[in-house]
Amino acid sequence: MIRKVFNPSMGWVLFLICALILPVSIGCGRNDNVASTDRVVIVQHDTEELPDSVNHVRYATLDADGNRAYLPSTFLLSGSHRLTGFPSNAVAIVTEFHTENWEELYEDVQPIPTTTGTYLMSAQYSGAQFMPKRLAIVDMDEATGNILVRGNLPLVKKTMGECYPEEDRCFAYDGINAKMKERMQDINPHAPEFDLENYDVIELVLHDGAGNRPELDIEMKALGRNVTNIACGATWLPYQNCPAWDPETMYAATDATKKLWGLIWWPMYPCGSKPCDDTVPKVDDDTETQIALDKFKFSQAPAHLKTLLTTHSTTAKKKLIYFHCIQGADRTGSLHLAYIMDQNPDMSFADALDRVWKGKREGSEVAQLDYLHDDVKPMCKFVGTAWRYCQEKNGAQADERCGTLEDFNQVNCKP
């Protein structure tokens, strides 16, 4: 919701019509005569209504074709933020709500007037929910019939008191089933209709147990459990002073009636540097690279995905392995990137990143993700983890395959 503080004008009405059809890319709404310093937006936040996990916000603008440009500052959460310096073609503003560990919880998109003035905007927040458009098939195994997919948080807002008492969201079983029907139909229109009832659904969860503890708790409730059942799930960093932590642990459903069959909690460490620093000790005597790859065992995660994909379930069903973070872009994209590098030893890091951003399945050149209008490009700080993984795995050929540090600074990732 936006209202103008001074310099009233109705020019924004025409803009609003354009902003509402941003995804259509008809090229309307551009106003290159508006200087970047002519507009001021004061974004207001009702901090009492926001979850405790929200630590800071980032702001970006969208042009009429849906292209995103980030404003230079990151703001700690407060009652209001004053934003200036908008690009001349900006027609909408994106507010990204992040945890302390840089997990994006939610983003709010609102139009901004194209005319000069100062405006008040109330940012809206809603708990992260399943976005079908971010589900993409990553790989399939013919021998087992198992399917590996990526996506975002598989929770939907509950209705009519269903699901779990005292929770506002449920496991998105029906949403995943509906989108998988579409994806499988695209692959083979003549194949029998996909039905998730024929699969044991296994989640591999990449978000953390600190800022995203409420979401992790709801996902565990889909198993008939809760977050306290996860060894070291309340500890951050989980490997510290908690020898029981093992990211390969499978938490199984308490009975066969549960929609979710199993859950693996494999949190990903958010390096503060881009890419992860490998020279200065960050925690104890470990560098960021050592923490991300070794302590959090990211270097083992791609192979574990392949093992899950290529081994039969303990039941008569096939497996659908769903790996995800909250938004299905940053941590998810980074693990997808490492997986692709492992499966395609002749592929360069830059080419693999391009496949990740577009959501291409193994053996296919079809883009499943709406990479032009949906911000699925992974954040550089997480892409940097995959780059370090590539460097360490390729030894003497690392610079040739993964690129140098200078090359990394030019890759197509979200700043």
The set of residues, in sequence order, having a beta carbon less than 8 Å from that of 183 and lying 6+ positions away, is: 135, 136, 137, 149, 194, 368
pLDDT interval class at 216 (50, 70, 90)? very high
With respect to residue 92, please indicate whether it lies within any of the assigned structural domains: yes
pTM: 0.85
With respect to residue 414, please indicate whether it lies within any of the assigned structural domains: no
Q: Contact 360/246 with Cβ under 8 angstroms?
A: no
Pair (186, 149) in one structural domain: yes
Q: Using CA atoms, how far apart are residues 289 and 388, in angstroms rounded to an integer?
A: 7
**Which pLDDT score, from 0 to 100, does residue 21 have?**
37
CATH of the domain at 104: 2.60.40
Q: Domain total for the chain?
A: 2
The set of residues, in sequence order, having a beta carbon less than 8 Å from that of 310 and lying 6+ positions away, is: 141, 143, 144, 146
Q: What is the phi/psi pair of residue 46, to 5°?
A: -85, 85
**Which pLDDT score, from 0 to 100, does residue 52 have?**
85
Last residue within a domain, chosen from 56, 90, 122? 122
Highest-confidence range of 104-118, 268-282, 296-310, by mean pLDDT? 296-310
Pair (107, 145) in one structural domain: no
With respect to residue 415, please indicate whether it lies within any of the assigned structural domains: no
Pair (186, 276) in one structural domain: yes
Pair (38, 169) in one structural domain: no
**Nearest Cα to Cα of residue 325 among 393, 398, 265, 410:** 265
Res. 30: pLDDT tops 70: no
Pair (42, 175) in one structural domain: no
With respect to residue 267, please indicate whether it lies within any of the assigned structural domains: yes
Q: Using CA atoms, how far apart are residues 96 and 54, in angstroms rounded to an integer?
A: 10
Q: Using CA atoms, how far apart are residues 110 and 87, in angstroms rounded to an integer?
A: 16
**Which pLDDT score, from 0 to 100, does residue 31 have?**
37
Res. 135: pLDDT tops 70: yes
Pair (291, 345) in one structural domain: yes
With respect to residue 276, please indicate whether it lies within any of the assigned structural domains: yes
pLDDT interval class at 3 (50, 70, 90)? low
Last residue within a domain, chosen from 97, 122, 147? 122
**Which pLDDT score, from 0 to 100, does residue 277 have?**
94
Q: Contact 401/348 with Cβ under 8 angstroms?
A: yes
With respect to residue 254, please indicate whether it lies within any of the assigned structural domains: yes
Res. 34: pLDDT tops 70: no
Q: Using CA atoms, how far apart are residues 64 and 32, in angstroms rounded to an integer?
A: 12
Q: Contact 152/327 with Cβ under 8 angstroms?
A: yes
Highest-confidence range of 2-16, 104-118, 323-337, by mean pLDDT? 323-337
Mean pLDDT for the chain? 88
**Which pLDDT score, from 0 to 100, does residue 211 have?**
85
Last residue within a domain, chosen from 65, 98, 122? 122
Pair (181, 295) in one structural domain: yes
Pair (141, 109) in one structural domain: no
With respect to residue 127, please indicate whether it lies within any of the assigned structural domains: no
Pair (242, 386) in one structural domain: yes
How many other CB atoms sit within 10 Å of the CB of residue 372? Answer: 13
Pair (389, 246) in one structural domain: yes
**Which pLDDT score, from 0 to 100, does residue 1 have?**
55
User: What percent of the chain clears pLDDT 70, i.e. is strictly above it?
Assistant: 90
pLDDT in tens, 336-383: 999 999 999 999 999 999 999 999 999 999 999 999 888 899 999 899
Pair (110, 174) in one structural domain: no
With respect to residue 154, please indicate whether it lies within any of the assigned structural domains: yes
Structural domain that includes position 62: 2-122
Pair (197, 148) in one structural domain: yes
Res. 149: pLDDT tops 70: yes
Which residue would you say has higher pLDDT here, 167 or 26?
167
